Amino acid sequence: MIELIKKDLVVDWRQQNPISGILLYLASTIFTSYMAFRGFVSIEVWNALFWIIILFTAITAISKSFAQEERRSIYYFFLIKPHNLIISKLIYSFLYLIALAILSLVIFTVLFGNPIVNHQLFIFNLLIGCLGLSSAFTMISAIAFKASNRSIMMAVLGFPVIIPVLILTISNSAKILDQNIWSQIQGNMLTLISVDVIIIALTFILFPFIWRS
């Protein structure tokens, strides 16, 4: 499983065009937002812009996680257990999205300032939110990998899956920025963790059947 994660890292590093494109997209989107909202960025606008950029970065970065495996699918079929493959994909997608999210937060802090008071709670919510988004898009990418029209499948399946993750994550983030403490967002946070666990469990259960189909 560790070797599969290393393989994804090496493939992405060698094919630098996707990474360069994502970084360019990230930087240009944040800078465009800065130019459009410069001078009147409230906490609500800051929170909305941040999560919009995280969402579309996740779509760009993770939605094609299985596309690069098209030539290796038969090879994997005989050598690798499906559970090992999907776990490695989930871990790599999560780490990839976290790195991009932290980079986004740094750029946001430079351009828009930093309204975060409770950094530990905000980062914890960011980690749980990125876990939900990365898991959802990895699962959807695996399903769409076997479909003839992948873009339509991604759009149809992705929207209902990520909606509860987005609602809970953005709501938690807004409350944290409003200086609410853990006891005031505990219910939402536990619900978000439960949603993440359900998505990961469904991915773990369904992927072997998808992979063998």
Q: What is the pLDDT of residues 123-140, one digit of tens each?
A: 999 999 999 999 988 888
Tell me what pLDDT residue 185 has. Answer: 85
Tell me what pLDDT residue 165 has. Answer: 92
| Conformational region of residue 41, where left means phi above 0, alpha means psi within -120 to 50, and beta covers everything else | beta
Tell me what pLDDT residue 201 has. Answer: 92
Q: Is 213 helix (H, G, I), strand (E, B) or coil?
A: coil
CA neighbor of 95 nearest in space, from 66, 121, 130: 130
Spans of the chain below 50 pLDDT: 74-75, 78
Tell me what pLDDT residue 167 has. Answer: 92
Tell me what pLDDT residue 207 has. Answer: 81
CA 22 to chain centre: 13
pTM for the structure as a whole: 0.86
Q: From CA 82, how far away is CA 73, in angstroms rounded?
A: 11
Tell me what pLDDT residue 4 has. Answer: 66
CB of 100 within 8 A of CB of 61? Answer: yes
Q: Please write the tens of the pLDDT for every residue from 6-28.
A: 666 666 666 665 677 788 888 88
CB of 207 within 8 A of CB of 86? Answer: yes
Indicate the angle between helix axes 119-145 and 82-112, nearest 10 degrees.
Answer: 130
Tell me what pLDDT residue 71 has. Answer: 56
For the chain, the distance separating the N- and C-terminal CA atoms, rounded to the nearest angstrom, is 22
